[in-house]
Structure 1
Amino acid sequence: MTSGSEHSEEWIAANRAMWDERVPLHAASALYDQDGFRAGRDEIRGFEAAEVGDVTGKRLLHLQCHMGQDTLSWARRGAAKVVGLDFSEPAVAVARSLAADIGLADRAEFVVSDVYEAAAALPDKDYDIVYTGIGALYWLPDIRRWAETAASLVAPGGFLYLTEFHPFLNVFSWDNATEVKEDYFRAEPLVTDEPGSYVDFEAETVDNLSFARLHTLGDIVSAICGAGLRLEFLHEHDMTVFQQFPELVQGEDGMFRLPEERPRLPLMYSLKASRPL
């Protein structure tokens, strides 16, 4: 199992600077469509809503919440209290502004903190639901420490819910989902120093250095179970939320899949792990 704790300080500082610079770009983008969100657009995917279940009256914590649109969507779905945590102060400022704009400031709180320091930074120390959305774990140097932190914040009888891009896809190049190019069990960090963002690959940016780690599915599940949570399910999905490969085709549900004539691949996964009463 990879840990990467030896890279943590440099890793987190570089990633924070990279994300801070991209917040205005993301907030103005069509992908995040904040005007549409203010008008009522829901960010929660159908399978997430079905797997998490009714959140009415629940206290929900969203780790690595970025600009808080998923977090606030859970509040719109009835959560009594939502708390979003992110290490980017500009992202949290956008989240707080959105909460005020849509009238949810009384039920939504946003905290600036590195995820590893969440237990000390948060107003409450346990939650009915701890949620981590798509694209979060890739940026973390130490998956075991993350799992221990997340598990410590789950109240007795509560659960951790995670949905992510499937790590198996990392063996392919971004332009070809047919030829294996990379080592699935890669242990060294993935270091990138390129301008732009996933909302605009041509954007001119300055803070471009970032660090990532390709955690395997086994590492992630083992870390969560090793932190004391009980795995309820692990679902692998043949769909994803954007056109990660040119071959993917968007369906009527807005999700992307391989063409029908192609053998299916696991494009995303989701899991639920609970803390017994």
Structure 2
Amino acid sequence: MPLDEFRAANRARWDESVPIHMAAPTYDLDGLLAGRQKHFPRDIDEMGDVDGRTLLHLQCHFGMDTLSWALLGAQVTGLDFSTPAIDTARDLAQRLGIDARFVLSELYDAPAALDQQFDIVYTGIGALNWLPNIRGWAHVVADFLKPGGRFYLIEMHPVLWSLDAQRTDQELVVRFPYFERAEPRRWDDAKDYADPQARLRNSVTYEWNHGLGETVTALIDAGLVIEWLHEHRTIYWQALPWLVPAPGPDEWRLPDEAVDRVPLMYSIRAHKPA
């Protein structure tokens, strides 16, 4: 199946999901419109100060995280491949009175769609699995950074992506490839992660895993300097059926006897040499 067909199927799914996510309590759109930023404390702490800095959010969906950075003082631009998502993001920015820019583009085509460099480039959780080539992504990140600019990524750990998420016996069993492959994983699931009652017509999606070493090396080869890599015992949703609530707000972890077995998320901060 050609890569364009994988992307078209994924885009159709994300297009359809926009109104569902806008209405879902997990997104809390009303909170954003009331002026409450939606980032987790960890993300804000690890990102560092954004006030007065230009920030590009790659794969921004309908802009909630992007606009949350604006509420923290950043001058934001969001980029996504979904027309309904970008249209919604522009509308939300107007309703909030935020001077934000939202650009419609495929990730790998972004440098041709947006001629600017930024103080900060940001990629949020649940983004890299939709990309077939992690090296191409890293070069896009580097292209958009000013010399001295900062990159921050928070993402689901590739070890977790490789596990059988349907098991309920508390066994961590590898079912899917850990490393990047040309052929994606095909999913056929009409349920939406934000609203389990919703049923999507566009049920088929295609996803790719990227090993941690592949991701770090791609960023280094693109010219970035890694400042740190953190692996986390918690995640922001119940990614496995037997995860239990963690002490942090809206976070989940493995049960006590298993909490140190595998990481659930990772984060990276890097910069482009001046």
- Same-fold status (TM-score > 0.5): yes
What is residue 142 of structure 1 aligned with on the other side? 133
| AA at the equivalent of 1:242 | W
CA–CA distance in 2 between the matches of 1:204 and 1:259? Answer: 31
What is residue 206 of structure 1 aligned with on the other side? 201
CA–CA distance in 1 between the matches of 2:238 and 2:159? Answer: 16
What is residue 111 of structure 1 aligned with on the other side? 103
What is residue 185 of structure 2 aligned with on the other side? 190
Q: Tell me whether 1:180 sits opposite 2:173 in the alignment.
A: yes
Q: Deviations over 1:166-196 (max 9, x none)?
A: 0101232213352313142363310112212
Aligned residues of 2:233 and 2:264 also touching (Cα < 8 A) = yes
What is residue 238 of structure 1 aligned with on the other side? 233
Taking a change above 3 Å as real, the CA distance of residues 273 and 33 of structure 1, as seen in their structure-2 partners, is same
| AA at the equivalent of 2:252 | F
Instruction: Map 1:259-274 onto structure 2 (within 5 A).
Output: 259-264=255-260, 265-274=262-271
Instruction: Map 1:84-163 onto structure 2 (within 5 A).
Output: 84-104=78-98, 106=99, 108-122=100-114, 124-163=115-154
CA–CA distance in 2 between the matches of 1:193 and 1:172? Answer: 17
Aligned-pair CA distance for 1:252: 4.1
Aligned-pair CA distance for 1:7: 4.3
Tell me the percent identity.
48
Normalised TM-score (structure 2): 0.93
Q: Deviations over 1:181-216 (max 9, x none)?
A: 314236331011221211233422222221111111
Aligned-pair CA distance for 1:261: 3.0
Q: Choose 65-74 or 36-45, whichever is displaced more.
A: 36-45
CA–CA distance in 1 between the matches of 2:2 and 2:133? Answer: 9
Aligned residues of 2:125 and 2:155 also touching (Cα < 8 A) = yes
CA–CA distance in 1 between the matches of 2:254 and 2:55? Answer: 33
Normalised TM-score (structure 1): 0.92
What is residue 258 of structure 1 aligned with on the other side? 254
Q: Deviations over 1:194-243 (max 9, x none)?
A: 21211233422222221111111111111111111111111001110011
Task: State the secondary structure of the residue aligned to 2:121.
Answer: strand
Q: Of 5, 16, 20, which residue of structure 2 is paired with 1:21?
A: 16
Aligned residues of 1:231 and 1:272 also touching (Cα < 8 A) = yes
Q: Count the aligned residue pairs.
A: 268
Unaligned stretches of 5+ residues in structure 2: none
Unaligned stretches of 5+ residues in structure 1: 1-5
Q: Choose 267-276 or 178-187, whichever is displaced more.
A: 178-187
What is residue 71 of structure 2 aligned with on the other side? 76
CA–CA distance in 2 between the matches of 1:235 and 1:179? Answer: 21
Aligned-pair CA distance for 1:259: 2.4
CA–CA distance in 2 between the matches of 1:118 and 1:271? Answer: 22
Kindly report the root-mean-square deviation, in angstroms, between the aligned alpha carbons of the 2 structures: 1.6
What is residue 31 of structure 1 aligned with on the other side? 26
Aligned residues of 1:11 and 1:141 also touching (Cα < 8 A) = no
Q: Choose 226-235 or 189-198, whichever is displaced more.
A: 189-198
Task: State the secondary structure of the residue aligned to 1:261.
Answer: helix
